[in-house]
Amino acid sequence: MSHANSILVLGAGELGMAMLRSLARRARPASGISIAVLLRPSTIDSQDLAKQKDIAELRSLGIELVAGDLAEESEDSLAAVFKRFHTVISCTGFVGGSGVQRKLARAALQARVKRYFPWQFGVDYDVIGRGSPQDLFDEQLDVRDLLRSQDQTEWVIVSTGMFTSFLFEPSFGVVDLARNTVNALGSWDNGVTVTTADDIGALTTEIVFAEPRIADQIVYIAGDTVTYRQLADAVDKLLDQNVRRTEWSVPELKRELAADPDDSIKKYRAVFAEGKGVAWDKSQTFNAQRGIAACGLEDWMRANLVPSESVALREVDHQS
């Protein structure tokens, strides 16, 4: 049987580690809160230096390591693990492939955990709807339908928008610093909501312990909401550049996807270009309404891009 304030986090990737650090900080002064993380046995015993560093950090935080494989284990097997815990928070991402999110939700319901936070740390799947260019999003709607159809397990969905770092991921192609270009998805007036992994972890922790209790609802958070025009303007200003601006239309992106239908990046580009369910008013978010500061777009750029990119460019300008 689970006991109150026992929390299991699924996965320790970028978001999982941020979530675990934040939960552990909250657990220290509050008696009775215990934190555990489910990891593949190969991860726990890995000889990879980066993974060893993460494992050492988790142990130093007093987090219990639970061995398990979300992709390979059966629903029954996972339910037996989940049953020990009051709250399960999934930070798995889509790496397990099709069907894993449904399996995890069914396992949580079978285990009768008191609260379940599914992997929905992204866009507003209800607004996007079924049949979008990103086929994995239909499974997210299946999970929502499953959770809404029952009343034994409380659920909370945290909608975060895109991870801020992904907006600058070279493979995504929106901010292409190597080519001094910003590419707008669909339109320069399309908006996108972004939140850092650290803020998602911190704000989800606030939601977990919020009073009055948050249950059976979608909670929106945001580090920032910007248009692609505002994004290009920020790159110009903060990196002291004059970027080339290109608009990638929805028909163009859908043609590219049709020619390469298994390319996940092209699926994401097409979804965000359609401009539905990918941005919301920051003033209406949980963090804004509670007066909790979050990292905005320009804050992230100053911390991650300005020292390495802008300073070097300015030095070249001074020397010429």
Enumerate residue ranges in the chain where pLDDT < 70.
1-4, 28-31, 307-320
Q: Is 167 inside a domain boundary?
A: no
Cβ density class 92-125: b for 16+ within 10 Å, e for less: bbbebeeebbbbbbbbbbbbebbbbbbbbbbbbb
- The CA–CA distances, whole Å, from 156 to 94, 119, 270 equal 18, 10, 27
The predicted pLDDT at position 260 comes to 98
The predicted pLDDT at position 30 comes to 56
Q: Is 89 inside a domain boundary?
A: yes
HSE at residue 168, side-chain half, CA atoms within 13 A, is 19
HSE at residue 293, side-chain half, CA atoms within 13 A, is 2
**Contact present, 135 and 267 (Cβ < 8 Å):** yes
Q: Is 141 inside a domain boundary?
A: yes
User: How many domains does the chain contain in total?
Assistant: 1
| Distance of alpha carbon 185 from alpha carbon 270, whole angstroms | 8
63: domain CATH number is: 3.40.50.720
Q: Is 171 inside a domain boundary?
A: no
**Contact present, 157 and 118 (Cβ < 8 Å):** yes
Q: Is 140 inside a domain boundary?
A: yes
The predicted pLDDT at position 312 comes to 44
Count of CB atoms situated within 10 Å of the CB of 309: 17
Domain coverage including residue 52: 3-161+194-224+277-295
Q: Is 168 inside a domain boundary?
A: no
Q: Is 42 inside a domain boundary?
A: yes
Q: Is 232 inside a domain boundary?
A: no
